[in-house]
């Protein structure tokens, strides 16, 4: 087990080397521990208690706000906890928290004819992704990824190791599906139900002029309630071709090529049919889509992000979105409209806020001098949308910039009770927020 203290050689690389967002906050842990297994994680928690340090955690390093960096904490970096064990009898895979959904889990399962709704971007760690919900490939059909977590192995605030599922330590199991960085423990392994891999994946990609936004959004909102759950429609405002373009990128998982082509036909029948700037339909794969996602969110840049769920109609959203989309002013910055349209009651778990449509904006830039400008812009424009919103998805938030509700009031209260019981001394760092009093407050 390696321990690097502040001031030691290698400290800065250990502090920031695995953080995806190049906007590295000036927060400095007292020490960074890199355990090799769950026993060493437990020893780390006991050491932190003995040294009176809070504990922060890192799995894949993809939190936009770098939640793993907390002043004067013991940062437990789980990079080496990346095992994958599959049981063909149950279809359950046991995955370490540093396993990456696209790069590690998807190919491992594909070799076995199985699939799991891992994140759209290949390098995101399962740890943060699953704890906060997990919006992944085929998510509209398979639900939130955390709905497929059947158990978690957890190191508690006392430094004990427990197995939590619906029967034992069920409070931790409940919290592990939605609490995100407020989870009162360290997950050392996730037990995930996998599914038979769909035979084919297709995409339908069309680009439109921003002037068509009103017609496009109106049509998509009309389409959404009846849209087959296997279809994932994402409208992205992107500047990658040089100027802002609306890219309607739709994927579908199906049993055959014919079925996929039939399911996607609905996108050729819209009011803008024939007016697209470009269109391509055909077979794709999670591996190919992951490459495209990684290009869309490149490494080596600074990111300011925010999001909101909304049930508002297209005509309310369109003027706000059109303004935001036209203001995108860097090569890589983009914003998405994701037609989610929840269709089933969520299981009893912490995760509890969603909406008809998911809106997220990613300002992507290189110059540190622009940090304040883009942070302010992304949070102000999202706040305009959030006035018509239902709350946020933790995955695209930064509560040091803008706060909003991420759990229902009832689930937040229940989580606070679990946290008070499981971690009364506040060993784990919990949510990073500018205003603790306004945590989970909507509006
Ligand atoms: C490029 C990019 C693409 C993304 N795409 C998607 C997407 O398609 N779908 C989606 O849902 N989200 C997506 N996200 C958001 C992402 O899922 C979250 O930021 C998530 O928190 C990242 O998990 P991580 O383990 O990589 O991050 P980390 O920064 O390592 O972890 C974030 C925090 O989660 C907590 N945590 C992590 N692991 C553990 C653990 N084992 N035990 C206890 N607490 C833990 C800690 O508080 C930690 O600080 C994306 C993010 C990026 C940067």
pLDDT at 75 over 70: yes
The Cα–Cα gap between 153 and 327 comes to 45
CATH of domain 84-197: 3.30.465.10
The residues spanned by each domain of the chain are: 84-197, 200-396
Question: Going by C-beta distance under 8 Å and a sequence separation of 6 or more, which residues neighbour residue 343?
Answer: 140, 229
pLDDT at 438 over 70: yes
pLDDT at 136: 93
pLDDT, mean of residues 127-137: 96
pLDDT at 241 over 70: no
Instruction: Encode pLDDT of 149-178 as tens digits.
Output: 999 999 999 999 999 999 999 999 999 999
Ligand 1: residues with CB < 6 A are 20, 56-64, 67-68, 78, 97, 119-121, 124-125, 127-129, 131-132, 134-136, 181, 183, 186-187, 297, 395
Q: How far apart are the CA of 18 and the centre of ligand 1, in A?
A: 12
The closest alpha carbon to 382, from 373, 392, 372, belongs to 392
Q: How far apart are the CA of 281 and the centre of ligand 1, in A?
A: 31
The Cα–Cα gap between 86 and 79 comes to 20
Q: How far apart are the CA of 265 and the centre of ligand 1, in A?
A: 35
pLDDT at 243: 83
Do the first three CATH levels of 84-197 and 200-396 match, i.e. the same topology? Answer: no
The closest alpha carbon to 117, from 127, 130, 99, 128, belongs to 130
pLDDT at 197 over 70: yes
Give 294's pLDDT tier (boundaries 50, 70, 90).
confident
Closest Cα to atom 2 of ligand 1: 121
The Cα–Cα gap between 401 and 305 comes to 9
Q: With respect to CATH, is domain 200-396 assigned 3.40.50.720?
A: no
Q: How far apart are the CA of 125 and the centre of ligand 1, in A?
A: 6
Q: How far apart are the CA of 128 and the centre of ligand 1, in A?
A: 3
Closest Cα to atom 34 of ligand 1: 128
Please give the structure tokens belonging to residue 272.
Answer: 């803008």
> Cα–chain-centroid distance for residue 22?
18
Q: Which atom of ligand 1 is nearest to the CA of 60?
A: 26
The Cα–Cα gap between 391 and 413 comes to 16
256 CB burial (10 A radius; 0-12, 13-18, 19+): exposed
Helices and strands of the chain, counted as H and E runs: 12, 19
pLDDT at 367: 97
pLDDT at 120: 86
Q: Which atom of ligand 1 is nearest to the CA of 185?
A: 43
Q: How far apart are the CA of 98 and the centre of ligand 1, in A?
A: 10
């Amino acid at each position: 087990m390696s321990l690097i203290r502040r001031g030691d050689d290698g400290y800065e690389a250990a502090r920031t080397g695995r953080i995806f967002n190049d906007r590295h906050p000036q927060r400095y842990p007292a020490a960074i521990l890199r355990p090799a297994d769950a026993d060493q994680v437990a020893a780390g928690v006991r050491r932190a208690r003995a040294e009176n340090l809070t504990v922060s955690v890192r799995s894949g390093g993809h939190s936009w706000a770098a939640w793993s960096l907390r002043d004067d904490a013991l940062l437990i970096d789980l990079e080496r906890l990346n095992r994958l064990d599959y049981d063909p009898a149950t279809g359950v895979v046991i995955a370490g928290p540093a396993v990456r959904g696209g790069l590690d889990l998807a190919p491992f399962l594909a070799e076995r004819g199985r699939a799991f709704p891992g994140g759209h971007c290949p390098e995101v760690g399962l740890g943060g992704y699953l704890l906060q919900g997990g919006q992944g490939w085929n998510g509209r059909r398979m639900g939130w990824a955390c709905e497929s977590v059947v158990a978690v192995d957890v190191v508690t605030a006392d430094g004990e190791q427990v197995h939590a599922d619906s029967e034992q330590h069920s409070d931790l199991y409940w919290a592990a599906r939605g609490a995100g960085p407020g989870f009162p423990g360290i997950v050392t392994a996730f037990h995930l139900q996998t599914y038979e891999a769909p035979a084919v994946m297709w995409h339908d990609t069309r680009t439109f002029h921003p002037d068509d936004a009103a017609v496009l959004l109106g049509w998509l909102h009309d389409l959404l309630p009846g849209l087959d759950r296997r279809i994932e429609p994402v409208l992205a405002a992107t500047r990658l071709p040089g100027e802002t373009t609306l890219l309607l990128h739709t994927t579908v998982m199906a049993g055959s090529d014919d079925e996929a082509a039939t399911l996607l036909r609905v996108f050729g029948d819209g009011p803008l049919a024939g007016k697209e700037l470009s269109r391509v339909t055909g077979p794709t794969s999670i591996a190919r889509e992951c490459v495209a996602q990684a290009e869309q969110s490149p490494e080596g840049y600074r990111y300011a992000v925010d999001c909101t769920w909304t049930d508002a109609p297209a005509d309310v959203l369109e003027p706000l979105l059109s303004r935001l989309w036209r203001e995108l002013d860097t090569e890589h910055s983009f914003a998405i409209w994701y037609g989610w349209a929840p269709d089933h009651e969520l299981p009893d778990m912490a995760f509890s806020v969603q909406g008809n449509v998911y809106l997220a904006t990613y300002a992507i830039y290189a110059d540190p001098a622009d940090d304040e400008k883009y942070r302010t812009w992304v949070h102000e424009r999202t706040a305009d949308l959030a006035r018509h919103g239902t709350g946020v998805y933790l995955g695209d938030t930064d509560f040091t910039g803008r706060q909003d509700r991420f759990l229902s009031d009832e689930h937040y209260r229940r989580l606070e009770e679990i946290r008070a019981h499981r971690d009364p001394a506040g060993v784990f760092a919990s949510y990073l927020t500018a205003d603790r009093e306004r945590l989970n407050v909507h509006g």
